[in-house]
Amino acid sequence: MQALRKHPGRRFVVAVPYLWLSVLFLIPFIIVFKISFSETRMAMPPYAPLIEWRDGVIVGIKLYFANYRFLFTDRLYASAYLYSIKVAAVSTLWCLLIGYPMAYAIARSTAAWKNLLLMLIILPFWTSFLLRVYAWIGLLKSNGVINNTLLSLEVIHEPLTLMQTDFAVYIGIVYSYLPFMILPLYANLEKHDTTLLEAAADLGARPWRAFLRVTLPLSMPGIMAGCLLVFIPAVGEYVIPSLLGRTDQLMIGRVLSDEFFANRDWPVASAVAILILVLLVVPIMLFQRVQKTELEARP
Amino acid sequence: MKSGYFARTGLVIGLAFLYVPILSMVVFSFNNSRLVTVWDAAHSPTLKWYVALLSNGPVLRAAWLSIRVAASAASGAVVLGTLVGFVLARFGPFRGRTLLSAMTTAPLVMPEVITGLSLLLLFVALEQLIGWPRGRGMLTIILAHITFTMSYVAVVVQSRLAGFDESLEEAAMDLGARPTTVFFRITLPLILPAIISGWLLAFTISWDDVVVSQFVAGPASTTLPMVIFSKVRLGVSPDVNALATLMVLVVALGIVISSAWMHAVTKRRERESQLASAGS
């Protein structure tokens, strides 16, 4: 591949996606950061310019910190922020608890079963996410399938309140993100050398002990990748809490979108986005490291 | 190696968890009652919600827009994503590699509200600065969708390339083939399955997106997920069940056809290699 490393077309091949991602991914964040320091005004676009130009010379830079001060003083934002972290963390934990045994069972089944089971895991992912969340409204609402079934079996006598609860949001997130947990776990568990477990058994370790001492530590990269793939997007989740969640406690993604669409306050929406990014920057960097080793350390 | 009762029970329960909601949507799409979840045994099954759906003008127009957006976005994403996947898998170290790989993996996990907001602010700023893109609509949705779906294509292509060593490409170059020839004659055919599944993946994600589209769409361009979202925010509606059933049907058919096709291809390869070894 030496020729490829020196080829003049190489620059062009790198430059095209580089340019695209810089303009449509990197620069937008700089704009969001900039606008989060702007003053709101009634105009289109609804924010004041930061930098004042006169005859091509900068005559003043006005940084407006009030958006952030507002976010830190109004309790609504802090509670939405903390609530989102809690919801994402609890959902991630449930995904792991449900997904790990599933990934393990698939990784240890015969080749023919493996393909079929993997297909069954991926299949829901190909059908609409929005419609799969919608399906839970029909199951959870007060005259929904779950309540009707329990009532007709006389397990309960009053319909349970399942919709617009934390429980409904957890179900929605776990349900939608479960494949994202299972697939990296499976990819990791599948590579394990089962002779290690046999060695542990020969040395007298009981299956549970062998699992805790051998399989679990070896699967840490898979656990990391799966948890980050669920946690990071779940923090900013908007569709699931809007359809299934509480109305008295919003998640931060909903707050951002309400500031933007309902209040038309673009600077405050930008400041909320920046605060979400501050929270997620470490998890995102961790995810990149895991992803990099997964993709580059292949035989 | 047996997996034990615990894991297998978990697998069965987990699969039930994944499929019961989808099945309930399918079943209730044939229900006569407007109450959706109360089965009206006397007048069901019925196809009336399918009839209602297929004669609903706004839904059909939105679906047509979504198909065009998803097809264009997937095609753009395949070109850019393949370039990125190829560069990251084959170019070795170069300046700016870390940034490129960061800009490719970050969109995979970035919350959609942030992607949507940042792209909208970009389009507004660009319009102020250079007058393009004028207003927002189908074009801005496509540009946004290309940006966050190309990462999926890049990952699929990169992992496919990581599974092949470079010896075929090196051999072709040793024989004097130019790098572009090598790419189009050797690399591209090798990664074609990854490119096809990348296109389908990008199409599905774009077809499904509601959050980013809401930010970057203009008033005149409403995609199908935006229509569904505003419908279901008001509560369940039976024609949405019919729509969901149609989508599940399309996906299931697509998977059956593609796995039959893959099966045929592998069978043919096996036969060819048997013939080749018998002939030598």
Exposure string for B65-104, b = 16+ CB within 10 A, e = fewer: bbeebbbbbbebbbebbbbbbbbbbbbeeeeeeeebbbbb
pLDDT recorded at residue A83: 96
At A40 the three-state DSSP class reads strand
Bigger pLDDT: A293 vs A81: A81
Distance from CA of A31 to the nearest CA of B (A): 7
Residue A7 in any domain: the answer is: no
Backbone angles phi, psi at A54, to 5 degrees: -140, 120
- When CB atoms are compared, the residue of B90, B101, B243 closest to A292 is B101
> Using only C-alpha atoms, what is the Rg of chain A?
25
pLDDT band at B62 (very low <50, low <70, confident <90, very high): very high
> Using only C-alpha atoms, what is the Rg of chain B?
24
pLDDT band at A4 (very low <50, low <70, confident <90, very high): low
Q: Is B261 exposed, middle or buried (0-12, 13-18, 19+ CB in 10 A)?
A: exposed
Give the span between the Cα atoms of A90 and B66, in whole angstroms: 34
pLDDT, tens digit (0-9, with 9 covering 90-100), for A80-129: 999 999 999 999 999 999 999 999 999 989 888 898 899 889 888 888 88
Nearest-CA neighbor of B119 among B105, B101, B139, B99?
A: B139
Residue A14 in any domain: the answer is: no
For all residues of chain A together, what is the average pLDDT?
88
Place of tokens 């890049």: B154
**HSE-up of residue A272 (Cα within 13 Å, Cβ side):** 31
CA angle A22, A26, A30 (to 5 degrees): 130
A11 touches chain B (CB under 8 A): no
- When CB atoms are compared, the residue of B105, B118, B208 closest to A288 is B105
Amino acid (1-letter code) at residue A184? P
Amino acid (1-letter code) at residue B157? V
- Domain total in chain A: 1
Give the span between the Cα atoms of B175 and B17, in whole angstroms: 55
pLDDT band at B279 (very low <50, low <70, confident <90, very high): low
For residue A5, pLDDT beyond 70: no
pLDDT recorded at residue B251: 87
- When CB atoms are compared, the residue of B25, B96, B107 closest to A25 is B107
pLDDT recorded at residue B157: 94
pLDDT recorded at residue A167: 95
Percent of chain B past pLDDT 70, that is, above it, reads 97
Average pLDDT over residues A47-67: 76
Average pLDDT over residues A217-244: 95
Give the span between the Cα atoms of B96 and A245, in whole angstroms: 42
The residues pairing with A40 across neighbouring beta strands, listed in sequence order, are: A47
The residues pairing with A51 across neighbouring beta strands, listed in sequence order, are: A61
State the pTM of this model: 0.91
A124·B169 Cβ contact <8 A: no
N-terminal to C-terminal alpha carbon distance within chain A:
17
Nearest-CA neighbor of B208 among B227, B231, B235?
A: B227
Average pLDDT over residues B164-175: 86
Give the span between the Cα atoms of A30 and B105, in whole angstroms: 18
pLDDT recorded at residue A194: 81
Residue ranges per domain, chain B? Answer: 59-235
Q: Architecture of B59-235 per CATH? A: Orthogonal Bundle (1.10)
Nearest-CA neighbor of B237 among B228, B247, B245?
A: B228
Spell out which residues of chain B touch residue A236, defining contact as CB-CB under 8 Å.
Answer: 111-114
Domain containing A79: what range?
A: 66-297
Residue A3 in any domain: the answer is: no
CATH code for the domain of A261: 1.10.3720.10
Q: Per the structure block, which two tokens stand in for B67?
A: 């198909």
A288·B101 Cβ contact <8 A: yes
Average pLDDT over residues A239-266: 93
Average pLDDT over residues A186-211: 85
Question: By mean pLDDT, which of A15-29, B36-50, B162-176 is the weakest?
Answer: B36-50
A223 touches chain B (CB under 8 A): no
- When CB atoms are compared, the residue of A243, A261, A296 closest to B162 is A296
Distinct helix (H) and strand (E) counts, chain A: 16, 2
Predicted ipTM of the assembly: 0.90
Percent of chain A past pLDDT 90, that is, above it, reads 54
For all residues of chain B together, what is the average pLDDT?
88
pLDDT recorded at residue A296: 65
A142 touches chain B (CB under 8 A): no
Average pLDDT over residues A210-216: 87
Nearest-CA neighbor of B11 among A135, A117, A126?
A: A117
Question: By mean pLDDT, which of A271-275, B15-19, B45-49, B125-129 is the weakest?
Answer: B45-49
A/B interface, count of CB pairs below 8 Å: 271
Nearest-CA neighbor of A235 among A74, A90, A69?
A: A90
Residue A230 in any domain: the answer is: yes
For residue A299, pLDDT beyond 50: no
Question: Residue B145: left (phi > 0), alpha (psi -120 to 50), or beta?
Answer: alpha
A295·B159 Cβ contact <8 A: yes
